[in-house]
Structure 1
Amino acid sequence: MTGSFLGEPSVSPQVQALYDEDLADGGYVWNVSRLWAHQPDTLKDLFGLMSQAFAPSGLTFRQRGILVTAAASALGDSYCSLAWGGKLGKASDAAIAAGVLTGGDAGLTDQEKVMAAWARKVARDPNATTPADIQALRDAGFDDGQIFAITAFVALRLAFSTINDSLGAQPDAELAQSLPREVREAVTYGRPVAG
């Protein structure tokens, strides 16, 4: 079982390196890695581009987690919501992560709430954003370079999620089992956890 709509490709050195990284990190090969094994170099380049886009923002890991979790949940992507909800829970706490996943945002700073709202707008309807949304980001303390960096990062994360979701990537059972109950229960959308 590949955990997606596609069969697993032959194992090349690049594919094996992708799998080995998963095994070293968590003890199992993620379904999303089995999917991206069709183009492991593209995955590496995409993650590199995400890092390059995010770097000028000057944001913390927690803030990156808020952006990804807010965007993934707005898109309805259960896989990234669970994965990054777990990461955000470790960077803050499970209740804060669950709040971002459900749109409640309890426990976030005012600046973080503005960031989360922006990530959700970019995910749901980028054509509905307005100059007032940009001003809200400025008022929260972000300069235009940071706003561009945040937006580029969120858009690239959405591209990653769109590929995963379109091709049926299911969240791993091992991932879901490793998460706090609050995070698991907050994700009631998207593809179900693999059996």
Structure 2
Amino acid sequence: MIVEPPAESDATGHVADMYAGDIKTDGFVFAYTRVMAINPEAHEAFEALIRAIVPSIGVRTYELATLGAARGIRSRHCLLAHGRKTLRAAAMDEEQLQRAAVDYRDADLSPADVAVMAYAEKMSTDAAGMTDADSQSLRDHGFTDRQIVDITLAAGARNYFSRSLQALAVPLEDVPGLSPELVDALLSPTR
């Protein structure tokens, strides 16, 4: 990684909060946090966007859209980080998450959950090829206009963040709290 993140000893303001959050949760600062700390205003704006998205769709749907998008762009960082966030939020248990990571269409997810993941994955692989039929799939599963927009924004936000990490060649670290079997399943789309 060619960019130089701020040192932990020099961190102030939002950067210090970013670092402290990782240390409190995991005992160290992730490489992706350090890279985003180079532009703390952009990180704050990203967090504000996520806070504006989640209330209408809830944590579970946000995490499903995030995992679908991360799967589509083959983001190892985000598959692992949001796999863990999905478990912590009790949005899925480990067995179901492992099955969803390998094939979400065969993981006993609700049809609405599958529609969210498929939509986010397609948006991340072929956004230009999407039509009203893709949004209609979400509507057919009961999502409102606001929720359809917020699912789209969740997938778009994941694309922004994940592609930035990939472009900057941010090293991948082990994510604490994930079994080796779950790690293998989460990373299966990137192989």
Q: TM-score, normalised by structure 1?
A: 0.85
Residue in structure 1 matched with residue 34 of structure 2 by the alignment: 34
Residue in structure 2 matched with residue 43 of structure 1 by the alignment: 43
Give per-residue Cα distances to partners, 1:134-182, cap 9 Å, x unaligned.
2111110012221111101211121011111110122322x1x520233
Give per-residue Cα distances to partners, 1:78-137, cap 9 Å, x unaligned.
000001112223421123222332333312101101111101011111111122112111
Matching of residue 73 in structure 1 with residue 78 in structure 2: no
Residue in structure 1 matched with residue 113 of structure 2 by the alignment: 112
Tell me how far 1:73 sits from its aligned partner. 1.2
Residue in structure 2 matched with residue 85 of structure 1 by the alignment: 83
Tell me how far 1:189 sits from its aligned partner. 5.7
RMSD after superposition: 2.0
Contact 2:6 2:37 in 1 (8 A): yes
Query: Structure 2: how far apart are the matches of 1:144 and 1:93?
Result: 29
* Structure 1 stretches lacking a partner, 5+ long: none
SS at match of 1:48: helix
Pick the structure with more helix per residue: 2
Contact 2:115 2:138 in 1 (8 A): yes
Matching of residue 9 in structure 1 with residue 6 in structure 2: yes
Residue in structure 1 matched with residue 25 of structure 2 by the alignment: 25
**Higher mean Cα deviation, 151-160 or 99-108?**
99-108
Cα separation, partners in 2 of 1:133 and 1:154, compared to 1, 3 Å: same
* Structure 2 stretches lacking a partner, 5+ long: none
Q: TM-score, normalised by structure 2?
A: 0.87
SS at match of 1:83: helix
Aligned counterpart in structure 2 of residue 61 of structure 1, from 39, 59, 62: 59
Q: How many residues get paired? A: 184
Contact 1:95 1:182 in 2 (8 A): no
Percentage of pairs with the same residue: 26
